């Protein structure tokens, strides 16, 4: 193996992680097909095909990023849900924990959240299935928690409603990094401090779920 310890601190990250970070940034900015390998190489200080010492190919980089974020989302989601499952009064608290976790991802890993529902189609069939399975597991986790937290959505007829509501809330939470992107001023998100933005997103998600519960079972069109 290579050097075992003592990273020089000028390059605090191992090459592979450095490539991940820059590739995610570039893919999010210009799209997977819009970025060339030479560009990724230049971003990490090596040039062009040197990347092939660390990844099998450009596709493999994207797959690594999407599988990684999907696994982290599901893992963290399970961790937060697993703390206290099954009891009744805590269900709202579990839902809040899920929301908080997702908001943190959306605000702190903007590039990956953007990629994870934007570039899925550029994966090879096998990787795409893998990512979709992870995403589906994450969605099911949310659906279960939502149906426990909001009894109006617990009935079997309301299952599609709960599922669609979770989809929609994901869209709500994920869209913010995308639309409010490039203002880099320390901790400022479109004029709001990071924590205020997090609290706002949390409230919006809560409010959306509450409205879904309130309107469940009503046939009325708009």
Q: Does 45 bind its own copies (CB under 8 A)?
A: no
Which span sits near its own copies by CB under 8 A: 23-31, 44-52, 74-82, 87-95? 23-31
- 3 makes contact, choosing from its own copies, DNA, none, with CB < 5 to 8 Å by partner type, with DNA
Q: Does 152 bind its own copies (CB under 8 A)?
A: no
What is the rounded CA–CA span in Å between residue 43 and residue 37?
10
Residue 193, H or E segment = strand 192-193
Q: Do residues 82 and 33 make contact, with C-beta atoms less than 8 angstroms apart? A: no
Q: Does 198 bind its own copies (CB under 8 A)?
A: yes
Task: By CB under 8 A, name the one of 58, 116, 122, 147 that touches its own copies.
Answer: 122
Q: Do residues 168 and 62 make contact, with C-beta atoms less than 8 angstroms apart? A: no
Q: Per-residue x/- mask for its own copies, residues 201 to 220, rule CB under 8 A?
A: xxxxxxxxxxxx-xx--xxx
- 178 makes contact, choosing from its own copies, DNA, none, with CB < 5 to 8 Å by partner type, with its own copies
Q: Does 3 bind DNA (CB under 7 A)?
A: yes
Judged by CB under 8 A, the chain residues 81 through 100 that form the site for its own copies are: 96, 99-100
Q: What is the DSSP string of 100-129?
A: HHHHHHHHH-HHHHHHHTTSGGGS-HHHHH
Q: Per-residue x/- mask for DNA, residues 20 to 49, rule CB under 7 A?
A: -------------x-xxxx--x----xxxx
Q: Do residues 138 and 77 make contact, with C-beta atoms less than 8 angstroms apart? A: yes
Tell me the angle at which helices 91-108 and 125-149 cross, rounded to the nearest 10 degrees: 140
Which span sits near DNA by CB under 7 A: 57-65, 92-100, 171-179, 192-200? 57-65
Could you tell me the smallest distance in angstroms from the CB atom of residue 184 to its own copies? 17
Angle, vertex CA 170, rays to CA 169 and CA 174, nearest 5: 120
């Amino acid at each position: 193996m290579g050097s075992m310890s003592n990273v020089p601190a000028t390059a605090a990250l191992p090459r592979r992680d450095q490539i991940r970070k820059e590739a995610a940034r570039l893919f999010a900015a210009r799209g997977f097909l819009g970025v060339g390998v030479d560009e990724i190489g230049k971003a990490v200080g090596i040039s062009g095909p040197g990347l092939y010492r660390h990844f099998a190919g450009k596709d493999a980089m994207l797959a690594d990023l999407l599988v990684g974020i999907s696994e982290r989302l599901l893992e963290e989601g399970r961790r937060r849900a697993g703390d206290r499952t099954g009891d009744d009064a805590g269900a709202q608290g579990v839902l809040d924990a899920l929301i908080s976790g997702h908001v943190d991802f959306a605000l702190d890993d903007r590039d990956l959240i953007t990629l994870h529902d934007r570039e899925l189609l550029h994966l090879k069939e096998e990787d795409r299935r893998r990512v979709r399975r992870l995403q589906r597991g994450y969605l099911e986790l949310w659906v279960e928690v939502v149906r426990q937290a909001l009894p109006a959505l617990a009935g079997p007829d309301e299952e599609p409603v709960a599922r669609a509501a979770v989809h929609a809330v994901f869209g709500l939470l994920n869209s913010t990094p995308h639309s409010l992107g490039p203002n880099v001023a320390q901790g400022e998100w479109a004029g709001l401090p990071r924590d205020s933005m997090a609290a706002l997103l949390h409230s919006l998600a809560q409010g959306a779920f509450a409205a879904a519960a309130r309107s469940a079972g009503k046939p009325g069109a708009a």
